[in-house]
């Protein structure tokens, strides 16, 4: 879902990607060491795209949500997938540790897709990759596969937003209904502060905690394990990037193109996600080579609330894709 604001308060709950640096150099307590990780940058036109790889095996490019967020909320949550795969995590241009001059020529969906392709070519080093997208990340992932289907082995859509507006009203109503009064009050209070308006990192992180808390099936899980830690650049520029990117895409709808996308696709969707389960079911039905796994007792972050169900489905799909390469 796109990020929107009323009286300065973001209403979207989009998400996306991963924090690994805190895991490196930690005492393993006698357990097996974490999978190998490597960070770097690639240049794509005028942008410098930060990435980090973790694990070994078939490459999986992780497309985080947003727009206007960075990769830092998906790891260590997604780290178990690195035991048998090489996760390639990155910050979308202008966000996190990825830099670019901000204007209408550098922040476009075409450029976002070019960045994914450069990661495939320069970091994965393979002709084909699997994409794993969370929330709004489903939009660039699907559009990339439509543009270059021959470069995609498969796609995992985790808690995807819809590729259009059919369920917009239902989603907004569900989101409002699931948001708790204490979170609404906290969001209003933080959004009114000068620190938030100036993009101070701590203020932005605190506000998004309350934005996302309302998308969990059980808010106690968010209270105990979820702590957004977006980068300073994301805090300062996230809303700017989202506005530049999404303004020309207002009304984007490609439902009718889904039947033409034959790439194997797994959709993983929580039964308590504010994005209606009916949307995920219709998406799976529209895609000719897709299957849906419904995660009971999970909201918009199934890999956090129900990791067992979630990873069983994803790992099975990734094993299938690896055997067909």
Q: Domain residues of the chain, as ranges?
A: 5-24+33-175+230-324
Of 102, 69, 143, 134, give the one whose Cα is nearest residue 303.
Answer: 134
Blockwise average pLDDT, block size 10, the chain, 325 residues: 32 30 37 77 97 95 98 93 96 98 98 98 97 98 98 98 97 95 97 97 98 96 95 98 97 97 98 98 98 98 97 96 73
- So what's the pLDDT on residue 321? 82
CB 130 within 8 A of CB 321: yes
Helical axes 168-178 vs 277-286, angle rounded to 10°: 150
In the numeric block, which tokens belong to residue 261?
């996308």
- So what's the pLDDT on residue 325? 63
In the numeric block, which tokens belong to residue 72?
């830092």
Pairing relationship of beta strands 5-6 and 9-10 according to DSSP bridges: antiparallel
CATH fold group of domain 5-24+33-175+230-324: Rossmann fold (3.40.50)
The helix/strand/coil state of 234 is: helix
Of 217, 247, 196, 179, give the one whose Cα is nearest residue 4.
Answer: 247
CB 231 within 8 A of CB 204: no
Q: How far is CA 114 from CA 93, 95, 162, 172, in A?
A: 11, 16, 22, 31
Pairing relationship of beta strands 265-270 and 152-158 according to DSSP bridges: parallel
- So what's the pLDDT on residue 3? 34
> Residue 127's beta-bridge partner residues?
none
Of 67, 115, 12, give the one whose Cα is nearest residue 242.
Answer: 67
> Looking at 215-270, which runs of residues are DSSP E strands?
265-270
Report pTM: 0.89
Of 253, 201, 205, give the one whose Cα is nearest residue 227.
Answer: 205
Residues 68-77 as b or e (16 or more Cβ within 10 Å = b): bbbbbbbbeb
Helical axes 201-213 vs 181-191, angle rounded to 10°: 160
């Amino acid at each position: 879902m796109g990020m929107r604001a009323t009286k300065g308060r973001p209403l979207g709950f989009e998400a996306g990607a991963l924090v690994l640096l805190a895991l490196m150099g930690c005492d393993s307590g006698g357990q097996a060491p974490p999978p190998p990780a490597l960070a770097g940058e690639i240049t794509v036109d005028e942008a410098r795209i930060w990435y980090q790889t973790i694990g070994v095996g078939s490459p999986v490019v992780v497309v985080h949500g947003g727009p206007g967020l960075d990769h830092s909320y998906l790891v260590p949550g997604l780290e178990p997938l690195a035991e048998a795969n090489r996760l390639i995590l990155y910050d979308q241009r202008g966000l996190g540790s990825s830099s670019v001059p901000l204007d209408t020529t550098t922040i476009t969906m075409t450029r976002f897709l070019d960045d994914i392709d450069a990661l495939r070519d320069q970091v994965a080093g393979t002709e084909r990759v699997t994409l794993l997208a969370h929330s709004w990340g489903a939009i660039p992932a699907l559009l990339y596969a439509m543009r270059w289907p021959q470069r995609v082995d498969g796609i995992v859509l985790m808690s995807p937003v819809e590729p259009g507006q059919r369920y917009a009203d239902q989603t907004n109503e569900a989101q409002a209904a699931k948001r708790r009064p204490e979170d609404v009050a906290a969001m209003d209070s933080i959004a009114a502060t000068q620190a938030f308006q100036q993009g101070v990192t701590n203020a932005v992180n605190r506000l998004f905690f309350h934005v996302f808390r309302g998308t969990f099936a059980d808010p106690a899980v968010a209270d105990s394990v979820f702590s957004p830690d977006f980068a300073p650049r994301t805090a300062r520029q996230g809303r700017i990037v989202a506005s530049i990117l999404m303004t020309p895409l207002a009304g984007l709808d490609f439902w009718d193109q889904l039947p033409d996308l034959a790439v194997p696709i797994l959709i993983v969707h929580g039964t308590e996600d504010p994005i209606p389960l009916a949307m995920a079911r219709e998406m799976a039905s529209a895609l000719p080579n897709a299957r849906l796994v419904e995660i009971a007792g999970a909201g918009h972050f199934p890999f956090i609330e129900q990791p067992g169900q979630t990873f069983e489905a994803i790992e099975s799909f990734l094993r299938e894709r690896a055997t067909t390469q």
